Chain A
Amino acid sequence: MSDPTHLTLAQARDALLAKTLSSSELAKAHVEAIERAGLLNAFITKTPELALDAARQSDARISRGEAGPLEGLPLGIKDLYCTKGVRTTAASRILDDFTPTYESTVSANLLRDGAVMLGKLNLDEFAMGSSNETSAFGPVVSPWRRKGADGFDAARIVPGGSSGGSAAAVAARLCLGATATDTGGSIRQPAAFTGTVGIKPTYGRCSRWGIVAFASSLDQAGPITRTVRDAAIMLRSMAGVDAKDTTSVDAPVPDYEAAIGASVKGRRIGVPKEYRLDGLSPEIAALWEQGVAWLKDAGADIVEISLPHTRHALPAYYIIAPAEASSNLARYDGVRYGLRERGRDITDMYEKTRAKGFGAEVRRRVMIGTYVLSAGYYDAYYVRAQKIRSLIKRDFDQAFANGVDAVLTPATPSPAFAMGEKGSSDPVEMYLNDVFTVTVNMAGLPGIAVPAGLSSNGLPLALQLIGRPFDEETLFSLASAIEQAAPRIEPPEPWWRDSDGARP
């Protein structure tokens, strides 16, 4: 058969069940693709032996008629998910050789359903970043390149972040799908930058247990895949209540795949006027108009809505997220796990360990978080930001109360940029990437990024749909309508492959 890495997750699942393909063949093809993609640096830890072994077991289960919903399907796991017996780094030096003795609930759910893990995917350190340039294991290179008049530009393009390894690996066909996490846009922005699909489900839909914490009131797990259907299949396995995360919600997990292709006739789609930012690029504005037209053609009703507190979401996020991070990251003290630097006394040991173990962006965010929570500033910054968060959520509540089923916005303010191009002199320049995605985390809502076109320089662009709490099904239906209407975005040709399989 032709190259099985070119199958979608759904196609591979069907081929395995029809026994026209074995899980071992599928895993081997992906292991080889990964071996030849060292240049992309998408993986921090590769687990080819574990994958081939798991695939053999899947083949045995398939032949016994005991296949789970994801039986034998090779996936990548973001290296923020703790994996039993496999080093977990969060892309930070501070975790050193940390090897969990337990499995995160979401990755355990995937394994329960038969999935095969190929390895641990690169990310921004502690998921703090929008370009995957803050990883202690080096940046991830996007499989996409800019196109000019004379062919491809030599500049290396970022895959977005923080789930940059997940997005790049899926776009480069190194895995059929990948887990990711989203605190302010970390699933949807890299999906948008790489022409893949990424959904951040409703806060509480997936358990956070065993996922390295960044900002606990905002963090959610979700998948990145090449199609909307594949995202629906993965999310069904990932989601569900968990006694180990009290914020996980005890609501039935629907068969999301059944929502693919369902009619969107008569659904009310809100288009928020506040997302029409000053200086919004004409290309993004046109894409947004196009998305409106596609949904209108599919029978949806389009209404303009107002989300008046939108512009305050990003600044409020940059108080709340660092505040929670400064608290969550207090645990990295060189005592129970990870790196330890010697010091004169215990405080000196803490300070030296954390200075050496944390990268520049993490240090900055921990310090900002510490500042806004410190005596005398707590009310002025933190409490005020939490009040603004209430206002942002109220905006969405009102839109939904007025009968809006989902909200359509651009996913990012620009296509992907080149490495080193943003944020080197001013950290805020990088933060602006999340301007369209961060409101969704602040309000705890589900949001999906779906590829919708290419920029003038040949890079993917995406639209975002935001839904009512726990109405991921509507998002899958609408996103699949956009996917059907949009021009097909083929993943790039594998220019990154070296000929002999050796690392460059």
Chain B
Amino acid sequence: MSVDSAIVRRIAHLSRIAVGDDEVERLGQELNAILAFVEELNAVDVSGVEPLTSVLPMKMKKREDVVTDGGFADDILANAPEREDHFFVVPKVIE
């Protein structure tokens, strides 16, 4: 499988990373080098093997569904690049 410039642009957009026209070719080569490296996995027989989802034989811990924390609006907004009162400010999303 080989990544062409159209796929590079599509992945970049899905990743929300702007890519300049001058970067597309080099990025494609780098991504192809990585994909060539992982290519050998296609030859491994994985029939009947379950995908590993946890390295530990443990059940997901659960706790009661109650509020245990909160009230830190100032802390949460402390590092925001742009804020107004207790809100994050972003460019207009809906016209």
Contacts and interface: CB of A to CB of B under 8 A. Distances in A.
Name which of B38, B53, B75 has the most chain A CB atoms within 10 A of its CB. Answer: B38
Q: DSSP majority for the A interface?
A: helix
B41 to A, nearest CB: 5
A207 to B, nearest CB: 13
Contacts of B90: 335, 346, 349
Interface residues of A, number: 69
A426 interface: yes
Name which of B30, B50, B78, B82 has the most chain A CB atoms within 10 A of its CB. Answer: B30
B16 A350 contact: yes
B18 A351 contact: yes
A368 B40 CA distance: 17
A383 B40 contact: no
Nearest to B14: A370
A89 B16 CA distance: 21
B58 interface: yes
B49 interface: yes
B70 interface: no
A427 interface: yes
A367 interface: yes
Contact of A389 (B52, B58, B79): B52
Nearest to A355: B18
A337 B81 contact: yes
Interface in A355-377: 355, 358, 363-364, 366-368, 370-371, 374
A444 B55 contact: yes
A64 interface: no
A65 B22 CA distance: 65
A84 to B, nearest CB: 10
B81 A338 contact: yes
B44 to A, nearest CB: 6
Contacts of A469: 56
Name which of A318, A319, A367 has the most chain B CB atoms within 10 A of its CB. Answer: A367
Contacts of B41: 312, 315-316, 319, 384-385, 388
Contacts of A102: 75
Contacts of A326: 15
B49 A364 contact: no
Contact of A334 (B30, B76, B81): B81
Contact of A338 (B16, B44, B75, B79): B79
A340 B82 contact: yes
Interface of A: 96-99, 101-102, 203-204, 217, 243, 246-247, 249, 309, 311-312, 315-316, 318-319, 326, 330, 333-340, 343-352, 354-355, 358, 363-364, 366-368, 370-371, 374, 381, 383-391, 393, 426-428, 431, 443-444, 469
Interface of B: 3, 7-8, 11-19, 27, 30-31, 33-35, 37-42, 44, 46, 49-56, 58, 60-61, 63, 72, 75-76, 78-82, 88, 90-93
